[in-house]
A = this chain, B = another copy of it.
Amino acid sequence: MGGLVESSIHCSIQALEEGDERLARRIIADESRINRMEMEIDSQVTRLLALQQPVAKDLRFLTSVLKINGDLERMGRLAVHIARRTLSLIQQPEVRPVVDIPRMAALAEDMLRKSLDAFVRQDAVLAESVLPADREVDELRDKVFQELTHVMQSQPARVLAALDLMFVARHLERTADHSTNIAEDVIFLVRGDDVRHRATR
């Protein structure tokens, strides 16, 4: 499921950058596979919890899977949102340059790959290395928002396209948040240490 979602996110960015309508439509069509997989994983985890009655790390593993499953499903949905914005952008005058969107996308993809690798290898150090990038993505989103707000204020004909790009940035930022959740779950799984909400505690 991680592989499918990684591929959807990756393709959604590629479709956006290349204005590839066919690819965007494929991502939208592929969502149902991700959704079916989410339900299958949930039901397998519930079955294992009932039949194996795991404790300690085995139990943390299964509760992590439940959460990561939810994060991945949501990321699949975000890839679909990006694909829909791409279909809208293809029909509009271009807004250039928003150089920070590809940088956000590269960071978000990297965070997802690392957090999934960290889960598979149960590597808390690798998971920790994901966390600082979340702030970097937030800062890029702020820059993108500022730049696009300026476009909207100065070029009314480009309001729609700038809005589409703004939502793409928002979806990428949310993707990074979900990778952060996955990384935090891996740290909890390996160490039994809940590192969520460190900043707001």
Contact = CB atoms under 8 A, between A and B. Distances in A.
Interface of A: 31-32, 35-36, 38-39, 42-43, 45-46, 49-50, 53, 55-56, 59-60, 63, 66-67, 70, 149, 152-154, 156-157, 159-160, 163, 166, 194, 196-197, 200-201
A200 B59 contact: no
A55 B201 CA distance: 34
Q: Mostly helix, strand, loop or mixed at chain A's interface?
A: helix
A49 B55 CA distance: 8
Nearest to A55: B50
A45 to B, nearest CB: 8
A200 B35 contact: yes
